[in-house]
Chains A and B, each alone.
Chain A
């Protein structure tokens, strides 16, 4: 039952990406292209997606987290870290460069596989390679100051 529910939840997420236009990299890149604000080609759609997704999640979390536990789990697994470190800037900085190059982030890229897109296959294969390398580096037994153990609950 939990597995079927998680398929349905992934499906809702994917339908949200398709409906919002975020499965189309051209819309994402036209949002990030702020020079388009003056030339008239800027597409602010991504801001609408973020605002409504955050609003629904904010209200929904308030309601859900008042419950004693999740339906199919022992407890809510919320991130606990609050301190800022190098990685919370370096990781997203690297991520943003890749995002700006192709217009894909992980959700839309996976959803794009369902479009039968060859470009998405290439992107996702490279994305998984990058993820595995980062995980391997982060889980090395003697972490240096740049490779502190990752918080497993944050993402």
Chain B
């Protein structure tokens, strides 16, 4: 498989990361909760442990609305290249969903919010998913 090359975008990525951080801080300030997307997504479904469903739905609706807003504002969508086929997407999605709930968080809950809280569990989680992510890409791209 020919891999799509992407260019390093330090300014846009630093700015985008700052927006993600701002979002995490605002969610804590307003609702008192960690901005963990996997936790928010998993709790859209029963069993419900609290009465925060509407807020979680609104957060996810905001995530989905973001590219639509970009399209309306600029007239075009940024590049998005997905090379995985339906079988790989299904397997990958299942592993991401299972693993993020099993480990209590993903790139946002552990990687951003957890590290910001200096949580040792989140540091361990982030190092672990970085390591298996790197290993998986190495195997699929260079050992095939």
Residues of A participating in the B interface, judged by any CB pair closer than 8 Å = 2-27, 29-30, 32-35, 41, 43-46, 48-58, 60-61, 63-65, 67, 69-79, 81-84, 87-107, 109-115, 117, 119-120, 122-135, 137-139, 150-155
Contact = CB atoms under 8 A, between A and B. Distances in A.
A107 B107 contact: yes
B108 A107 contact: yes
Contacts, number: 522
B38 to A, nearest CB: 5
A84 B124 contact: yes
Contacts of B114: 79, 154
Given A52-B18, A61-B117, A96-B133, A112 B80 contact: yes
A8 B89 contact: no
Contact of B64 (A14, A34, A57): A14
B59 to A, nearest CB: 4
A129 B97 contact: yes
Interface in B85-144: 86, 88-117, 119-121, 124-126, 128-138, 140-142
Contacts of B18: 16, 52-53, 55-56
A16 B23 contact: yes
B5 A30 contact: yes
Interface of B is mostly: helix
B134 A61 contact: no
A150 to B, nearest CB: 6
Contacts of A60: 21-22, 24-25, 28-29
Contacts of B49: 152
Most buried by B among A51, A73, A99: A99
A14 B40 CA distance: 14
Given A88-B125, A100-B136, A16 B16 contact: yes
Contacts of B91: 98, 101, 126
